Structure 1
Amino acid sequence: MRPTRLIAACVAAGLTLLTGCSAATNDGGKGGGDLTYMTFETPNLNAQFWDTSISEAEKQAPGASVKKIVAPGTDRDAYAKQLLASGQFPDLLQSITPSTFAQNGLLKPYDKNWVNANFLMPMGNAYKGEVYVPPTNSQIIPEVFYNKKLFAQAGITAPPKTWSEFMAVCAKLKAAGITPIELGGGDPFSASMPLVGILSADVLGKNPHWLQDRYAGKTKFTDANVEAAVAKYRTMVKEGYFEDGALGVKYADSITNFTSGKTAMYMMGSWFLGSVPKDHADDFGAFLTPTDDGSLVVPFSVGGSMAISAKTADPAKATAFAQAWSTNPANLKTLIEGDGALPLLKNKTLADYNVNVSQVYKDSYTYVTDQNTKVPAFGWVTNDDAMPSGLNDAFYSASQALFTSDDIHGQLAKLDAAWDKAAK
């Protein structure tokens, strides 16, 4: 699934799951109730998942009775705005972008003592010092997934650690007649993944505050270090390291191409872990976008569960329900196994979620639990490092354009202009 800024995912968070979204319904198939809860449905997070999770949370929140509202499509923010305009803003909202609503005083922040007591990264998705969505889970956006058998076929014995080694691996795969990298370029968000990885590693890895500095006018997309990072992507394209016709490959097809062995590597958010074939999961590994000096930079995005409306008539019941739902390991089990979510509940191991996950999932989770350099995944976070409204789409468009254009400066200048206009 591609997280729409994550339940994570659900962040967040993904098209494999989201293409099955149902139409909106006022009762959502879950009885009446004094609290309304906007959710969404996908093949993995289906009606049964939501109904069960709601019932379990109701048991832990005495007196709370919840009515489910199912959002249509993938844009929960847009649907929440529609409900707001019609005077039906829900008491609880799943997987929205907090800043979109908090800046207008529409969301109630969570108690920080409760957040600190229950989550590994309490302020991981905080907005202007407040937590509006419990930081229940996370994604790495992207990882570089690879096919171990195709690496071995090309005589590659280990994943690359530096950018020069990465380019050498690509060249060796191509020389062996193997397409080095899969790119679902037909879907804008998917087309951006190589740039997300490179910019996170090279730009944010050296200045984790680059996005906040961009708001302050201290940095620009046309700065030399940004243009140098983007030039790496152009090199990958011009060297023929992506498949033929990559801009026409849809996201869903890119998953199939990679898992069926047509390509050796795939730069994608960690939600891909939910798509790793169970019958040959050991054929796949993952590493981070390499840096010039081999240092590890984790492009990280903290996601979460539900926001609480500041307009709710019963904030005590809404809060009790939201806290119960957000700390139930059974809810995260579905997200871990089906969507590759990386959990952030405190004092829990993977065994506590009763999950069956692959070795590549376990290896990926160590990036979360280890002490390392974590930076905001470029264009994917919902905290203070989020880009202005509309910039994500502009960034995706630039990613597609840069697949065929050498005008790096021109494309990045367009992003600067779009940023300046959106940030006013």
Structure 2
Amino acid sequence: MTFNTPTLTPDFWTASIARAQNSAPGVKIRQVVAPSTDRDAYAKQLQASGQFPDLLQSITPSQYTEAGLLTPYDQSWVDQNFLLPQGNAIKGKVYIPPTNSQIIPLVFYNKSLFAKAGVQVPTTWQQFLDVSAKLKSAGITPIELGGNDPFAAAMPLTGALSADVLGKNPQWIQQRYAGKVKFTDADVVTAATKMRTLVEKGYFEQGALGVGYADSIKNFNAGKAAMYPMGSWYLGSIPKDQWDNIGVFPWPTDDGSVVVPFFVGGSMAIAGKAKDQAGAAKFAQAWSLDPENLKALIESDGAFPMLKNKTLDDYHVTVSPAFTDSYSYVTKTDTKVSSIGWATNDDALPGTGNNDFYAAAQALFNSGDVKGQMAKLDKSWDTATK
């Protein structure tokens, strides 16, 4: 099962499948394309009708492992080939190879608009607010946000909770599973209130909740806003004529410490009931290690490669300065935490937790009841984990 995007086109899949088949003689692939980018919904639909695919691309494995629907990869192969072998492991087992990573979110900024307003890159939350205020006073929209798409609307909330809550307590999600902490705890509510503050001060573009994700990219690239909190995949959408004008900085914390909301992605999951387990594994391993696939993901989707013994030069890619600056947060020593609402490892939210989290962010555009929205997250969590 695959899926199409503007960058992962049918031609990409045709070529990548053919290369992997050459490395797995005897394996024949019949491609099933998800009708939307919601791969999990389509995979579950297929599973319910007895058509669960043998191989599934870029799903959320935690939604299938409890039911025994997936086969873990050979750990020695994972250890041999990847920089963070346990980066997306679930209870110690790896169900999708940790081939690449993303930072969700980063804050991208327009250097020309910063210069026009006379502001510098902020490192603390207060500085971020001060910069936003000066931009607004200069007649510049401070923050672009594709609020009509729930995942995009949630970027500020993801940044705040990842940086302020998980940055101080990386075990917070595991403690939530153990019932030791809640979303309604004061520190979580304080972090979530930051998003509401941005709404109340009018720092997002007018009608942000009605702006689609695709239009948010167009707006930011056209210079209609000065900052854009988004996953690092936006790097693949920076126009070449803007390469020198788009900078990047991590979501700011109260004290200026750097916290990186990190997500280790992967490639193909193998169905637990695939008839040819050995053939499926051989094909999936070949696809996952194919440098041509990583090249496409690096250049078009802003993915940070996580294969051992390789540098960016080995992929023969051409990337923007913003990509190089962003990638430095992956390679340097800093505080990396799971990006809340995005993790696919043990820190994945239960049940419909991701969608509930995104919905809470959208609700904060129209409601000042931050604690009430956090209480809804606690309720959905408790329902999913009963």
TM over 0.5: yes
Give the Å deviation of 1:77.
1.8
**One-letter code aligned to 1:407:** D
Identical residues among aligned pairs (%): 66
Give the Å deviation of 1:397.
1.7
Classify the secondary structure of the residue corresponding to 1:201.
helix
**One-letter code aligned to 2:179:** G
Unaligned runs of 5+ in 1: 1-37
Alpha-carbon distance between aligned partners in 1 of 2:307 and 2:361, rounded to the nearest angstrom: 34
Question: TM-score, with normalisation over the residues of structure 2?
Answer: 0.97
1:127 pairs with one of 72, 90, 112: 90
Range with greater deviation from structure 2 (213-222 or 39-48): 39-48
Alpha-carbon distance between aligned partners in 1 of 2:148 and 2:48, rounded to the nearest angstrom: 34
Aligned counterpart, 1:369: 331
Give the Å deviation of 1:87.
2.8
Aligned counterpart, 1:301: 263
Number of residue pairs aligned between Structure 1 and Structure 2: 386
Classify the secondary structure of the residue corresponding to 2:226.
strand
Q: Is the 8 A contact 2:151 2:358 kept in 1?
A: yes
Classify the secondary structure of the residue corresponding to 2:223.
coil
Alpha-carbon distance between aligned partners in 2 of 1:328 and 1:217, rounded to the nearest angstrom: 42
Aligned counterpart, 2:194: 232
Classify the secondary structure of the residue corresponding to 2:269.
strand
Give the Å deviation of 1:252.
1.3
Q: Is the 8 A contact 2:5 2:37 kept in 1?
A: no
Q: Where do residues 160-309 of structure 1 align in structure 2 (5 Å cutoff)? A: 160-309=122-271
2:15 corresponds to 1:65:
no
Give the Å deviation of 1:192.
0.7
Range with greater deviation from structure 2 (43-52 or 259-268): 43-52
The superposition leaves residues 23-64 of structure 1 with CA deviations (integer Å, 9 ceiling, x where unpaired) of xxxxxxxxxxxxxxx111223212221111111111112222
Aligned counterpart, 1:55: 18
The superposition leaves residues 76-124 of structure 1 with CA deviations (integer Å, 9 ceiling, x where unpaired) of 2222223223332222111111112221111111111110111111111
Alpha-carbon distance between aligned partners in 1 of 2:358 and 2:344, rounded to the nearest angstrom: 17
Alpha-carbon distance between aligned partners in 1 of 2:150 and 2:39, rounded to the nearest angstrom: 19
2:369 corresponds to 1:423:
no
2:306 corresponds to 1:340:
no
Alpha-carbon distance between aligned partners in 2 of 1:403 and 1:42, rounded to the nearest angstrom: 28
Range with greater deviation from structure 2 (320-329 or 39-48): 39-48
Alpha-carbon distance between aligned partners in 2 of 1:87 and 1:183, rounded to the nearest angstrom: 39
Give the Å deviation of 1:227.
1.0
Alpha-carbon distance between aligned partners in 2 of 1:251 and 1:62, rounded to the nearest angstrom: 41
Judged with a 3 Å threshold, the aligned counterparts in structure 2 of structure 1 residues 84 and 410 are, in CA distance, closer, same or farther, namely: closer
Judged with a 3 Å threshold, the aligned counterparts in structure 2 of structure 1 residues 86 and 411 are, in CA distance, closer, same or farther, namely: closer
Unaligned runs of 5+ in 2: none
Q: Where do residues 82-101 of structure 1 align in structure 2 (5 Å cutoff)? A: 82-101=45-64
The superposition leaves residues 296-334 of structure 1 with CA deviations (integer Å, 9 ceiling, x where unpaired) of 000011111001112122111111111111001100111
Q: Where do residues 312-391 of structure 1 align in structure 2 (5 Å cutoff)? A: 312-391=274-353
Q: Is the 8 A contact 2:143 2:228 kept in 1?
A: yes
2:111 pairs with one of 112, 132, 148: 148
**One-letter code aligned to 1:56:** R
Give the Å deviation of 1:389.
1.3
Cα RMSD (Å) of the superposition? 1.2
Alpha-carbon distance between aligned partners in 2 of 1:214 and 1:239, rounded to the nearest angstrom: 31
Q: Is the 8 A contact 2:102 2:263 kept in 1?
A: yes
The superposition leaves residues 166-195 of structure 1 with CA deviations (integer Å, 9 ceiling, x where unpaired) of 111111111211111111112111111101
**One-letter code aligned to 1:48:** D
2:40 corresponds to 1:77:
yes
Aligned counterpart, 2:366: 404
The superposition leaves residues 333-364 of structure 1 with CA deviations (integer Å, 9 ceiling, x where unpaired) of 11111111111111111111111110001111
The superposition leaves residues 136-187 of structure 1 with CA deviations (integer Å, 9 ceiling, x where unpaired) of 011110000000000011112x311111111111111112111111111121
Range with greater deviation from structure 2 (371-380 or 236-245): 236-245
Range with greater deviation from structure 2 (99-108 or 200-209): 99-108
Judged with a 3 Å threshold, the aligned counterparts in structure 2 of structure 1 residues 87 and 417 are, in CA distance, closer, same or farther, namely: closer
**One-letter code aligned to 2:326:** S
Deviating above 6 A after TM superposition, structure 1's stretches of 4 or more consecutive aligned residues are none
Classify the secondary structure of the residue corresponding to 1:179.
coil
Q: Where do residues 31-46 of structure 1 align in structure 2 (5 Å cutoff)? A: 38-46=1-9
Judged with a 3 Å threshold, the aligned counterparts in structure 2 of structure 1 residues 87 and 233 are, in CA distance, closer, same or farther, namely: closer
Range with greater deviation from structure 2 (327-336 or 404-413): 404-413
Give the Å deviation of 1:415.
1.4
Alpha-carbon distance between aligned partners in 2 of 1:88 and 1:217, rounded to the nearest angstrom: 37
Question: TM-score, with normalisation over the residues of structure 1?
Answer: 0.89
Give the Å deviation of 1:200.
0.5
Judged with a 3 Å threshold, the aligned counterparts in structure 2 of structure 1 residues 196 and 64 are, in CA distance, closer, same or farther, namely: same
Judged with a 3 Å threshold, the aligned counterparts in structure 2 of structure 1 residues 404 and 125 are, in CA distance, closer, same or farther, namely: same
